[in-house]
Chain A
Amino acid sequence: MTTVIIDYNSGNLRSAEKSFQLMSDELGMGQIKVSSDPEIVSKADRVVLPGVGAFADCKQGLNSISGLYDAIEGHVKTGKPFMGICVGMQMMGTCGHEHGYHKGFDWIKGDVKIMLPNDKNLKIPHMGWNNLNISGNHPIFNNINENDHVYFVHSYHLEVKDNKNLIASVDYGGKITAAVAHENIIGTQFHPEKSQTVGLKVISNFLKWNP
């Protein structure tokens, strides 16, 4: 079994790699590879698209590596599990509005827009630990309780068109998208790799997930 974390010259890669490796070792789920090689991505059992960055730059980073974008799309089309984190999750949407107007993968209908909290004392970025409001019973949240805290750091969020794609939200001067899902893909706005025990559980659930 191989899980590939995509390297496209952005993202807190080492952070993601070591959290996934820790959980993979615990579960005996094989190797975690950090790669930008489309061939390696095509052969992966699971793909993770991390993200620390701006939407425009991340998109450009993906496009600048020949064949990478197509390899990720190909992986998702085969029905194998995919996880996007932070901007990696935002890119699963239709379109991003950060530094211009940039197309995403369009797997989850909805645009990525700046957050506008209804309380003007709330600062942007939304940075820190917030408690999850989980909707439905997606396996990614197995053994995770409503009101468990996870770590966020973002200024934009994916406004999903269809509520059935929204599997968790948080309150930050309004309802903010925390996690989305559709068939074999899931995305988290929060950083499971930085959310201590709760985050490691999310990663473990993803590695065990067989959609």
Chain B
Amino acid sequence: MLKTRIIPCLDVKDGRVVKGVNFIDLIDAGDPVESAKAYDLAGADELCFLDIAATIENRGTMFDVAKRTAEQCFMPLTIGGGVRNPEDVRNLLLAGADKVSFNSAAVANPDIITESANKFGSQCIVVAIDAKTVSPGKWEIFTHGGRKGTGIDAVGFAKLVESKGAGEILLTSMDRDGTRDGYNLALTYAISNAVNIPVIASGGVGNLDHLVDGVKKGGASAVLAASIFHFGDYTIKQAKTHMQNAGVAVRL
């Protein structure tokens, strides 16, 4: 059977892994290349590399750092941040990505998803959705590293990107990001339930029960975390063992 994936995420800015709270107040969390190597050895199921300032700085993804990080990965690698068109996808695949994640560009023009999926296959196209709670049971999409509100409903947008050919959704709760209060489970469940493509839960993990909740209560296909792994609170192995003991099938 298919196992639930545990995915450490490298948010990269100026060539360093950073971690913030609610997308701001970033602090240094290490070298991406060394981190990738360590996570590969630790048996992470995938790795996510997000160039978090690319769109704000109006540039493409930092290819050099992405490429050097990819060299260390013998597990699947998703690269995102500043991805604008199919040419960017191709270049990131050549740099060593296995999947490429769209965010702001997909909100501005959802057809870019179809164009890319037709060329590289849906399995290769991830759409990262950053959502903020606007009222109970209502979530709005934000772009440009969480700086720009769009008025677009997150659940509706998730359905749209699925219909446009996205193969996976990386769903981040901006309210929870970096808070260590756990995933926004209502949001995770609403999106997982609305689409038939895998959803990665992201934003807010502070302990290992949060990972279990993301799957059991949020319905996520994979769980992403950053701080708890970067700062050494838990190892990948501890996370997997904890999930297995809680009845979530993982690759050990």
> A191 is contacted by which of B4, B76, B197 (Cβ under 8 Å)?
B76
Given A54-B117, A125-B123, A194-B74, the answer on whether A15 and B98 have CB atoms closer than 8 Å is yes
Report whether A153 and B3 are in contact in the complex, using a CB–CB cutoff of 8 Å.
Answer: no
Q: A125-B197, A128-B2, A129-B3 are in contact. Are A54 and B74 (CB under 8 A)?
A: no
Stretch of B30-38, B87-95, B173-181, B231-239 that contacts chain A: B87-95
Number of A-B contacts (CB under 8 A): 119
Cβ distance A154 to chain B, nearest Cβ, rounded Å: 6
Given known A53-B121, A155-B123, A191-B98, contact A125–B167 (CB-CB < 8 A): yes
A149 CB within 8 Å of chain B: yes
- Whole-angstrom CA separation of A57 from B94 in the bound complex: 17
Contact A131 B197 (CB under 8 A): no
Partner pick for B120 among A54, A195, A199, CB 8 A cutoff: A54
Assuming the contacts A128-B45, A129-B251, A196-B40, asked whether A15 and B197 have C-beta atoms less than 8 A apart, the reply is: no
Candidates A15, A155, A172, A199; contact of B70 at CB < 8 Å: A15
Chain B positions within 8 Å of A196 at CB level: 40, 43, 74-75
Find the A residue at minimum CB distance from B72: A18
B59 located at the interface, meaning its Cβ lies under 8 Å from any Cβ of chain A in the complex: no
B119 at interface, CB cutoff 8 A = yes
CB distance from A130 to the nearest CB of B (A): 5
> Does A14 count as interface, using CB distance less than 8 angstroms?
yes
- The residues of A that contact B124 with a CB separation of less than 8 Å are 12, 52-53, 153
Task: Name the residue on A nearest B95 (C-beta).
Answer: A14
Chain B residues within 8 Å of A207, by CB: none
CB-contact partner of A194 in B75, B118, B167, under 8 A: B75
Closest A residue to B199 by CB, please name it: A123
Given A54-B121, A196-B40, A13-B93 contact (CB < 8 Å): yes
Q: Is the interface of A mostly helix, strand, loop or mixed?
A: mixed
Q: In the complex, how many angstroms separate the beta carbon of B137 from the nearest chain A beta carbon?
A: 23
* B152 → chain A closest CB, angstroms: 23
**Set of chain A residues within 8 Å of B118, measured between Cβ atoms:** 54, 57, 99
- Count B interface residues, CB 8 Å: 40
A200 close to chain B: CB less than 8 A: yes
Q: Are B93 and A129 in contact (CB under 8 A)?
A: no
Asked if residues A131 and B40 are in contact (CB atoms below 8 Å), the reply is no
Contacting residues, chain B, for A10 (C-beta < 8 A): 119-120
> A13: which B residues are within 8 A, CB to CB?
93-94
Contacts of A18 in B (CB 8 A): 71, 96
User: Is there contact, CB below 8 Å, between A12 and B97?
Assistant: yes
Name the contact of B98 in the complex, choosing from A52, A171, A199, A200 (C-beta under 8 A): A52
A36 within 8 A of B: no
Say if the beta carbon of A127 comes within 8 Å of chain B: yes
Q: Given A123-B197, A191-B76, A128 and B5 touching (CB < 8 A)?
A: yes
Of the candidates A57, A99, A125, the one whose C-beta lies within 8 Å of that of B198 is A125
Nearest Cβ in chain B — how far from A31, in angstroms?
18
Q: Which residue of B lies closest to A17 (CB)?
A: B96
Contacts of A152 in B (CB 8 A): 2
A1 to chain B: which residues have CB within 8 Å? Answer: none
Against A, the Cβ 8 Å flags (1 = close, 0 = not) of B169-209 are: 00000000000000000000000000011100000000000
Q: What is the bound-complex CA distance between A129 and B76, given in angstroms?
A: 10
- How far apart are the CA atoms of A24 and B39 in the complex, in Å? 24
A12 contacts across to B, CB distance below 8 A: 93, 96-98, 124
A13 CA to B67 CA, complexed, in Å: 12
Beyond A10-B120, A127-B167, A196-B75, 10 additional contacts (C-beta under 8 Å) are A14-B70, A14-B96, A15-B96, A15-B97, A52-B121, A53-B120, A124-B197, A149-B251, A151-B76, A199-B74
The 6 lowest CB-CB distance pairs between A and B, nearest first, are: A14-B96, A153-B123, A129-B251, A54-B121, A53-B121, A149-B251
